């Protein structure tokens, strides 16, 4: 696994750190269970008052029905709600 977090990000508020931890945990669990891959990458970028968390794997992918298209149903529901509570959004992008 590759993790990239710029040093200038520093510590975040406890609720934000907890939410990001849980989202990363759920993503990695799903990658481990379903992607048929053993590696993933995590990248965090911060700019002003916004932050982007990107988690990638090169697995077999999932159908839009299973992912909920990132709109709060299916696999993404808990993650989407957790981020929404903090003013964030979730996007699942398939290649």
Q: pLDDT value at position 73?
A: 44
Q: pLDDT value at position 72?
A: 39
Could you give the percent of the chain with pLDDT greater than 70?
82
Q: pLDDT value at position 70?
A: 45
Q: pLDDT value at position 32?
A: 87
- pLDDT confidence of 65, banded at 50, 70, 90? low
Element of type H or E holding 54: strand 50-56
CA distance 84 to 10: 22
In this structure, the strands spanning 2-4 and 41-47 are parallel
Reduce the DSSP state of residue 47 to 3 states and report it. strand
Q: pLDDT value at position 12?
A: 84
Residue 9 CA to its chain's centroid (Å):
17
């Amino acid at each position: 696994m590759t993790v990239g977090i710029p040093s200038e990000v520093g510590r975040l508020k406890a609720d934000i750190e907890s939410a990001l931890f849980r989202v990363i945990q759920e993503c990695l669990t799903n990658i481990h269970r379903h992607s048929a891959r053993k590696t993933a990458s995590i990248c965090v970028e911060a700019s002003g008052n916004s932050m982007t968390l990107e988690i990638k794997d090169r697995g077999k992918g999932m159908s839009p029905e299973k992912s909920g298209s990132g709109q709060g149903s299916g696999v993404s529901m808990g993650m989407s709600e957790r981020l929404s509570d903090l003013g964030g959004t979730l996007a699942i992008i398939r290649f």
